[in-house]
Structure 1
Amino acid sequence: MKNNVKYYRLAEISTKIGSGSTPKGGQDNYKESGISLIRSLNVHDFNFKKENLAFIDEQQAQKLKNVIVQKNDILLNITGASVGRCCIVPKEVLPARVNQHVSIIRVDEKKANPEYVLYILNSSSYKQGLLNLAETGATREALTKNDISNYYIPLPEIGIQNEIANLLSNYDQLIENNKKRIIILEQMAEQIYKEWFVRMRFPNYQNTKFIKGIPEGWEANKLEKYIDVYRGKSYSSSQLKDWSELPLINLKNIRRDGGFRRDGFKFFEGKYSKTNLAYSGDIVMAVTDMTQSRDLVGRVALVPNINVSKFIISMDLIRLVPKKYPYLFFYSLFRYSGIGHYFKQFANGANVLHLNPAVVLNQTIILPNIELAKEFEKLISPLISEIDNLYTQINNLTKTRDLLLPRLISGQLQIKSKEEQRIKGSITPFKQKQIIAYIIKKQHEKKMPSGEMVLAKNIYLAEILYGVNTGFNWQNWHYGTYDGAIRKMLLGKDQFFVKEKIGNTSFEVLALGENKAKILDKKYYTPNIENLEKAMDELLEIYSHYPTKERSRKIELLNTTCKAIADIQSLDLDAIRNAFKEWKTEKADFPTKWHKFTKEETEECIQFILSKNWDKKLLTN
């Protein structure tokens, strides 16, 4: 069912749109505390940064009384490189004013939900619209009050706005929780490094002899003895593509405090040298900086594992390759020791700062013995791995949130009502075992018995394609969709299910146990089970046309493709293949579904889904 969506100018749904100014005297007249003065550096997409928040006194604030910030105000950056960034003001920074680089958008909450409006402004298409306005106006990289006031956004009825905002805020909460966990893990890694190699309290330090403050067995030498440096690729704009199989790591991938940003990739197509390449786990350093404040130069990042075989790095970066020492030791040295801050003072240039890699190689450092460095790596490796996993989760959550928004607005994707959610929650473990039992029964009747993983795929397909209410919570496991509750039910003591060997082979399939009469008792038969049986009849008929040796693989491909379409709410082949890249397996020869299934296989599967009209089910679930 489509939503009744109308388009309104921001001025029509707002009670105030406007920016402020900087108090006379500029930052020299800022105070230690008082009334917050919000500047563009505080405003980020969905996120308000309190670092470097300025303060003014009552007298200064009185001169800015026309831009008093109120609860739920949207803050929009309107000038400079950060134009278009926006968030909702956090209540803890109030009372507050804004300067001339930030505009207030005060939504009339009788007409629109501020959080919903924020999601629209931060969505890719509407964000690009703001950026286009900023670039084509009379003043470059600036949004005027008129630009903002006349900017059209889609508005369904207020109840739908509230539901959309509530749903998407759940994703934001998960993202925020993961960010907090990353901060804690980063602090732990930093403190371990400093404890061992700055405060010199490494294991057995009490029994170590120190000579002029340096532990015996440690050595001092230039970095060129321990690392090799490789320059990045100089490229032209014509070599950048919307997508290619060679992601380009560039300055946007480097965080200002060090670490890797996954949203900064560009994509390269053209000739390159092997020395321009980087791989997951490599260390890259920024040697160029567009900011005169030297926020990036000298900072390092660890190339993440995103299921890409190789990357290419831009000319603004260098790749640091340890000769003998562990990678994570050198990454921690560059990240946590303060040496990056030291290097940045040697960067020079009129408009763009450049750091000569020779400065890095000529720097003398003190290194522990290699055994201690390996011991350190062993200790922090789980922390770095978990940080990488959390960033992957954030990336997936962000993509899902952004893909959901346009479909939620249009009504292509319906938000389940509280009553629908209550009904799903009413599926008891016994009813779930019933579902398992009837699937096993059908599989044996059609002479296609299976193990646990194919069973799980069939349950998922029956739910997503035929509307069977199963009550399971689906996750992307290495062999397909799965819920750990299934195994607990199969191993239960109620003897509903057993495993049987097929002939003289070691292969086992699921079968019904000695208490099957109870689980199949007709007094428990419901319309939901009737629907399940019809679903299994059709699915098993489809499977019967698969060659026996390929059946398991083809079922997995169908299951994977359906889950990807439902998750990303798109039938676009490249988008689905990208979702496959995020779906990890436990096989060395095909670490992701992208590696396991070819592009041609995936396209053929999508066409089959379209021929069955299943796309209508997948894009509205």
Structure 2
Amino acid sequence: MSWKKVKFKDLYEEDSKNGIYKSSKFHGYGTKIVNMGELFSYGFIGNQEMRRIVVSDKERQAFGLKEGDLLFARRSLVESGAGKCSIVRNLSEPSVFESSLIRVRLNEKICNPLFYYYWFRSHSGKEQISSLVNGVNVKGIKSSSLKEIDVVLPDMSTQNTISNFLILFDNLIENNQKQIKLLEEAAQRIYKEWFVDLRFPGHENTEIENGMPNTWKTIQAMELCKITIGKTPPRSESYWFTDKGGIPWVSISDMNDAVFLFNTKEQLTGEAIKRNSVKVVPRGTILLSFKLTVGRVAIAEKKMATNEAIAHFYVDDTIREYLFCYLSNFNFDVLGSTSSISKAINSKIVKSMPIVLPDNETLTKFHDKVKSLFLKIENCQKNIYMLSEARDRLLPKLMSGEIEV
């Protein structure tokens, strides 16, 4: 099937717009603002927790978002991130967007924004975006170039049919994500009851010394388990990286809202692992981000490698759930020596960070109590992985007109 092609700007309701910049004195409260972090972490942006800034009514009107707006990354440290597209969906309150993003508002009388969100995720869309990317150290696209790309224009019925079909996968993914959130909250409630409020089994007969049961102890992380750090092969040597058939390579954006990690945006070749001495961690390893975005925690579902901003904790089964919850609740600010926590944390500090270690009996009981919750979380994330794979296999064929719904 051959679809008509038009310039992207022909679908615009109004001119595209770069986001707002506000100095730090305006940050911390006010209106939600979509940053690069949200764009790289989510396809659908709307009801997530975000940073906030103070804006005037005029700024809120000029830089405000509405349902169906497309957001593109103006710049990125990696080429694959430049031009990345997300869509505003289920907006929970008035929000604006930052200066590193481009807002495109389409004319919904002639096109379905959701269709074009999916189109930009397809090979055809990514190819068009890739042709716009420029820059050396920081890769980027310009709104003046974005509006000139060629896009397909099926009739509205076809756009709606394809969008409605693909959104079924994403709705199922969202349902599984909601289940994961409830299950993780349940596990965290038990953790806090036992290890924060100290209402663990047998607490009535346990002596407390200096705010902690006398059978517990505080040790350094490296005394608890082996800890290693990831590595990034030279970005200028792109042959180290691959889209498929390699070792999953975790960056911090892969860890967003994930308890178990099944897949990653990028992979490393076997030769990259060998020649660059990149650590490959086994299934069950706990991963902790400690640079830039500090404190994201996830569990490797398979053999994986990571970048240098992520530490690896090699733990056995009985302590895995406890350490996951402990690290998820840890106040990393106490480890920093400056006001900028992202600059203060390093691998040496991570390895020597304090770990409160309960006695073996309590740890075993906690493992037995929450393991079914973690197993259900793992199954939900496996569903998400399979649904994402199925959607992404169909996406290029639907967007090229090769198959019809």
TM-score normalised by the chain length of structure 2: 0.82
The answer to whether the Cα contact below 8 Å between 1:37 and 1:56 also exists between their aligned partners in 2 is no
Instruction: Give 1:209 deviation, angstroms.
Output: 1.9
- Residue by residue over 1:381-416, the C-alpha shift from the partner in whole angstroms, topping out at 9 and shown as x without a partner, is 12222222222211221222222123223443222x
Instruction: State whether structure 2 residue 334 is matched by structure 1 residue 334.
Output: no
Instruction: Give 1:358 deviation, angstroms.
Output: 3.6
Which of 281, 298, 311 is matched with 2:284 structurally?
Answer: 281
The aligned residue for residue 177 of structure 1 is 175
In 2, the alpha carbon distance for the partners of 1:61 and 1:97 equals 7
The aligned residue for residue 394 of structure 2 is 404
Q: In structure 2, do the counterparts of structure 1 residues 269 and 330 end up closer, same or farther at CA, with 3 Å as the change threshold?
A: same
Question: What is the one-letter code of the residue matched to 1:377?
Answer: H
Q: In structure 2, do the counterparts of structure 1 residues 45 and 322 end up closer, same or farther at CA, with 3 Å as the change threshold?
A: closer
In 1, the alpha carbon distance for the partners of 2:189 and 2:151 equals 47
In 1, the alpha carbon distance for the partners of 2:299 and 2:45 equals 24
The aligned residue for residue 76 of structure 1 is 72
1:19-34 → structure 2 map (5 Å cutoff): 19-20=17-18, 22=20, 26-29=23-26, 32-33=29-30
Which of 294, 304, 316 is matched with 2:301 structurally?
Answer: 304
Q: SS of the residue aligned with 2:402?
A: coil
The answer to whether the Cα contact below 8 Å between 1:226 and 1:324 also exists between their aligned partners in 2 is no
In 1, the alpha carbon distance for the partners of 2:127 and 2:216 equals 53
1:323-362 → structure 2 map (5 Å cutoff): 326-336=319-329, 338-343=330-335, 345=336, 355-362=345-352
Q: In structure 2, do the counterparts of structure 1 residues 167 and 21 end up closer, same or farther at CA, with 3 Å as the change threshold?
A: closer
Instruction: State whether structure 2 residue 267 is matched by structure 1 residue 266.
Output: yes
- Residue by residue over 1:259-301, the C-alpha shift from the partner in whole angstroms, topping out at 9 and shown as x without a partner, is 64723341231337999332111223335x3xxxx314x5432
Instruction: Give 1:180 deviation, angstroms.
Output: 1.3
Q: SS of the residue aligned with 1:262?
A: coil
Q: In structure 2, do the counterparts of structure 1 residues 126 and 230 end up closer, same or farther at CA, with 3 Å as the change threshold?
A: same
The aligned residue for residue 110 of structure 1 is 109
Q: In structure 2, do the counterparts of structure 1 residues 29 and 234 end up closer, same or farther at CA, with 3 Å as the change threshold?
A: closer
The aligned residue for residue 526 of structure 1 is none
The aligned residue for residue 188 of structure 1 is 186
In 2, the alpha carbon distance for the partners of 1:275 and 1:21 equals 38
Q: SS of the residue aligned with 2:5?
A: strand
Q: In structure 2, do the counterparts of structure 1 residues 118 and 273 end up closer, same or farther at CA, with 3 Å as the change threshold?
A: closer
The aligned residue for residue 154 of structure 2 is 156
The aligned residue for residue 378 of structure 1 is 368
The answer to whether the Cα contact below 8 Å between 1:231 and 1:318 also exists between their aligned partners in 2 is yes
Question: What is the one-letter code of the residue matched to 1:154?
Answer: V
Q: SS of the residue aligned with 2:152?
A: strand
In 2, the alpha carbon distance for the partners of 1:273 and 1:136 equals 26
Unaligned runs of 5+ in 2: none
The answer to whether the Cα contact below 8 Å between 1:13 and 1:107 also exists between their aligned partners in 2 is yes
The answer to whether the Cα contact below 8 Å between 2:176 and 2:384 also exists between their aligned partners in 1 is yes
The answer to whether the Cα contact below 8 Å between 1:42 and 1:53 also exists between their aligned partners in 2 is no
Instruction: State whether structure 2 residue 379 is matched by structure 1 residue 366.
Output: no
In 1, the alpha carbon distance for the partners of 2:314 and 2:107 equals 56
In 2, the alpha carbon distance for the partners of 1:188 and 1:277 equals 31
Q: In structure 2, do the counterparts of structure 1 residues 241 and 37 end up closer, same or farther at CA, with 3 Å as the change threshold?
A: closer
Question: What is the one-letter code of the residue matched to 1:254?
Answer: M
Q: In structure 2, do the counterparts of structure 1 residues 70 and 280 end up closer, same or farther at CA, with 3 Å as the change threshold?
A: closer
- Percent identity between the aligned chains? 22
Instruction: Give 1:234 deviation, angstroms.
Output: 6.4
In 1, the alpha carbon distance for the partners of 2:352 and 2:400 equals 59
In 1, the alpha carbon distance for the partners of 2:72 and 2:192 equals 39
- Residue by residue over 1:349-380, the C-alpha shift from the partner in whole angstroms, topping out at 9 and shown as x without a partner, is 9xx95854443343344321111101111122
TM-score normalised by the chain length of structure 1: 0.56
Give 1 or 2 for the bigger CA radius of gyration: 1
- Residue by residue over 1:81-137, the C-alpha shift from the partner in whole angstroms, topping out at 9 and shown as x without a partner, is 564233333464565554543333222223211111111123344235324413359
Q: SS of the residue aligned with 1:366?
A: strand
Question: What is the one-letter code of the residue matched to 1:367?
Answer: L
The aligned residue for residue 606 of structure 1 is none
Instruction: Give 1:258 deviation, angstroms.
Output: 7.5
Instruction: Give 1:72 deviation, angstroms.
Output: 2.8
Q: In structure 2, do the counterparts of structure 1 residues 31 and 162 end up closer, same or farther at CA, with 3 Å as the change threshold?
A: same
- Residue by residue over 1:415-456, the C-alpha shift from the partner in whole angstroms, topping out at 9 and shown as x without a partner, is 2xxxxxxxxxxxxxxxxxxxxxxxxxxxxxxxxxxxxxxxxx
In 1, the alpha carbon distance for the partners of 2:216 and 2:399 equals 62
In 1, the alpha carbon distance for the partners of 2:402 and 2:296 equals 44
Unaligned runs of 5+ in 1: 416-621
Question: What is the one-letter code of the residue matched to 2:158?
Answer: I
Question: What is the one-letter code of the residue matched to 1:201?
Answer: R
Question: What is the one-letter code of the residue matched to 2:198?
Answer: M
Question: What is the one-letter code of the residue matched to 2:264?
Answer: D
The aligned residue for residue 44 of structure 2 is 46
Instruction: Give 1:166 deviation, angstroms.
Output: 0.8
The answer to whether the Cα contact below 8 Å between 2:180 and 2:380 also exists between their aligned partners in 1 is yes
Worse-superposed segment, 228-237 or 5-14: 228-237
In 2, the alpha carbon distance for the partners of 1:38 and 1:363 equals 32
In 1, the alpha carbon distance for the partners of 2:19 and 2:233 equals 40
Q: SS of the residue aligned with 2:105?
A: strand
In 1, the alpha carbon distance for the partners of 2:159 and 2:103 equals 21
Q: In structure 2, do the counterparts of structure 1 residues 269 and 38 end up closer, same or farther at CA, with 3 Å as the change threshold?
A: closer
The answer to whether the Cα contact below 8 Å between 1:31 and 1:56 also exists between their aligned partners in 2 is no
